[in-house]
Structure 1
Amino acid sequence: MAIPDFIQDDDDEHRLPLLPAGTRTESHKDSFFSDRIEHQLFYGPVKRMADELYDAGPLNGPRDALERLTMIQRLQSSLDALTSVLLADSAEQVSESLADTIATQDSNTEEEEREARRSAEYYGIDRGSDQVINSNLIAEASVALRESPRKVAKRMFHAKGLRYVCKDTLMALAAGEITVKAAHDIVKYAQDLLPEQISQMQHLLLPMAKTASDDAIYQRARRFHDRMRPESAEQRRKKSEEHRRLTLQDDENGMSTLKYCNSAAVVHSIKNSVKWVADQHNDPEDPRTREQIEADAFADIILNGWPGHEGTPLKPRVSITIPAVEMLADPSRTVADLEGYGPIPLGAALQLAKDAPSFQRVLTDPWTGAAIDVERRSYRPSQGLKDLLRNRDEHCCFPACRRPADRSEIDHIDDWAHGGHTTRENTQLLCKQHQMFKHALGWKVVARPDGSKMWVTPHGLNSIVVPGSVKRVDQFDHVSDHCPERPRVIPLPHVRLTPEVRRVLGLKPHIDIPEKSPVTEPPHMGGQRETG
């Protein structure tokens, strides 16, 4: 049986037999000698296999290629073991240094540190708690590894399990003897077991894991766990129901998948209800398949209510950006942008926009696609700024965070209390969690002249964040740190100002504008302008 893709992820380090933070001697060596031994155990295999691959020379046939692939797999296992050690050790050691690091940063004044403490009180957090320290480190590690915090959190779970609980598995992984997947499955099913049971599981599985498939180890680890932790069917059902959830996954080509997990009785009732609605549709001319009719019926029920009812009180709201000039110049090559998802075909966007109750014009930079202004005909300035940030940033501006604009708030880059102004250059969208990171946990952000933001972590790592609406980043200049040069000649397509064009651009019929313009460079948009 294959490993199911949809298995619920309920891994929790609190279900592992871990000693309290600060008492894990594996991360606190008591001598230089033991430090050097560990260095050789975890770095030695990586260096040896990397050197062997480098010294192998040109490829000599398919057998040689297969042998090198085997070596690369072993190297990946060793690298994962080393990554696990670094993550677990840093999580253990940072608890002793993070508060000091935040307090002694060169850029922090005494007043800023007092404000950070007040912010911690405001957000209701203890900067020295294990949970806050772990979350902060995961955010920093996501910058270092260029991965999402969620993925790094999963790495941290496996790291602590290997470093402190499944030590034999860690050593086999470091030697390249087992795969990363096998090691992670052993940690996963070590949850809720006693230390002696975990030792027995490793003793049984590790010899087999050196040659068996990942699927075989997964199945055996799961069965061993179930034998050691027998539960009644009713207990397992109640435990599973705790993980009911609704999740969203974005697919390709403008599609998304909604996944709903609940008890079998509830899910089957929903499915049967949708089938009943679909059964009422008896149009022989309808070209849709049965599956398509059920999918459309389900969407209608969720968005508009059951047939014969008035529908849901809260109607869905989506935001679509359609580049009008590009659409008029070459519709076949134009893509629109669906907020929270990304590019979608122009035809799909126009279909969605057809029934839109209102439009809002957004001025975008023609070189990068970034939103730089919004119309304010019917909005107060504060609402106009909010609309601009929603279109420009699209989501929280913290590194690797994708929380949408609806779940984020306006944040001053330079604090209002220190003279920061409420301008588009000094504001950004931040979710609640990452406002707390910025104001209470020592993260710094600097607005750069090219429109990007540079974040600095408490331990000094840098991460550049570009506004979500930017489509082209080749004009951004992070190294020279100045506003990017604009091309002097813009090869604009010739578009006639037909009544349709005027309507899209919001031009009144009586306004006379020449269809050809002698201008060969864009209007001044900031930075220094050469003259003479």
Structure 2
Amino acid sequence: MTALMDVTVEQVATLDELVDLAQSLERSISGMMAARDGVLALAARWASDAASDADEADISYRAVAAELATALRVSDRTVQRRMAGAELLVERFPSVWAAQGAGEIAAGHARVIVDAGVRIEDPVAREEYAARVLEFARDESPNRVRPIAERIAQQYQPRSIEERHDGARQERGAWVRDHPDAMAEMHLFGPAALVHGAYDRITAMAKAHAAGPTAAASDADAERHDGDTGPQAGDAAPQGNDAANGQDPRTLAQRRFDIALDLLLTGVPAGHDTEQGLLAAIRPSVSVTIPFLTMMGLESLRIGTESVTAQPAELDGHGPIDPQTARLLAGAASGWDRVLTHPVTGTLLAVDRYRPSEYQRRHLRARDQRCRFPTCGMPARDSDLDHTHDAALGGATEVDNLGALCRRHHVLKHHAPWHVEQLGDGLVEWTSPAGRIYIDRPPPQNTVVFTEEATSTEQGQASAAPF
């Protein structure tokens, strides 16, 4: 069944008008939220100016928050948090605040930019950081901006990522928060590579358990194929008497929880494993990009008259990690991909591997990094590999006709009048049911590029410009 294929021209025009209206309202909302932040920042400044010392400033701040909270009928703690956030945005990131006020970005974009750059102390460096991230934020969703913002912020940090990670590790911990109806939630805070590795392992176990014992060994980590466009396993509980039919009625999230508690309470997934112990044999998997200088343990490298600075390693889809952890992961890996990039533009050129594997899958994972539908941030490794021009209709199985699509947007492509074309160099053009054009660009590679910089003494001198 294909949706929206029989709509009239008038209905499409109505949809286009609704999209215009939604965009206009979103810009107005962003502007109003920025205006509110301005008022809250002024209130915070007033509270500080009205106090004579630090102790009095805290009481003054609370008093002003209580005044506003009473008038707005919200908690004074909520208002105090908003005041602190607004003051941070307005005082330290004025260009970001201005962009939100103009409706160029939303509040979510502003939060992402501020969170990633909050530790940049130098005002000039902070403003340069904000300007660079805003270039992306105006065209991308907040979840896509986050890894870019964190990557750029690393270049302006006064302390190395190793120093900051060593300090942050001291804050690792676990805690529990109670909820009504005899429920509670457990939180784990620690190194990202370990946390995402653990999450990947329980996800693989949950999927393998749902697939059945025969599939657990062979299909737990298998690639999804673009011919299967049904709902993703675990997205919702199956309908009907599935328990009676031998099917697991739990959602993927529920199976994750049950298996995680099995592991924590017994050390093994005792309540879910097969007789052969196939679930316990599943190992976690994370994807890390490590620039060659970081892999070599170098902070910089001189090429001719220019010096290239090493860039932090990244946990793909999540953000930078410390080099020591990255090198340990690389050393323990059974194989790894080498991503070749253009030295000037940073564009992905090729991917090869020291152990034989499927070239195209590796190339596309490295190029796309996440789902290629605009605004989607689902990692490519968890997405389908789709033929843009259907293979059944003669589409070639080649890099320029393949792209990562998460299951949700894979289904949308096949069963709704969204049209997609590849324009070359990784650019993907989507046409919506209302006839709107959206261009999705592959995220920039975590690499070093070179630019030509003219100087008064030497024209065309090459300089390293890490992204």
Q: Same fold (TM over 0.5)?
A: no
Tell me the TM-score range normalised by the shorter chain. Answer: 0.3 to 0.5
Question: Higher Cα Rg: structure 1 or 2?
Answer: 1
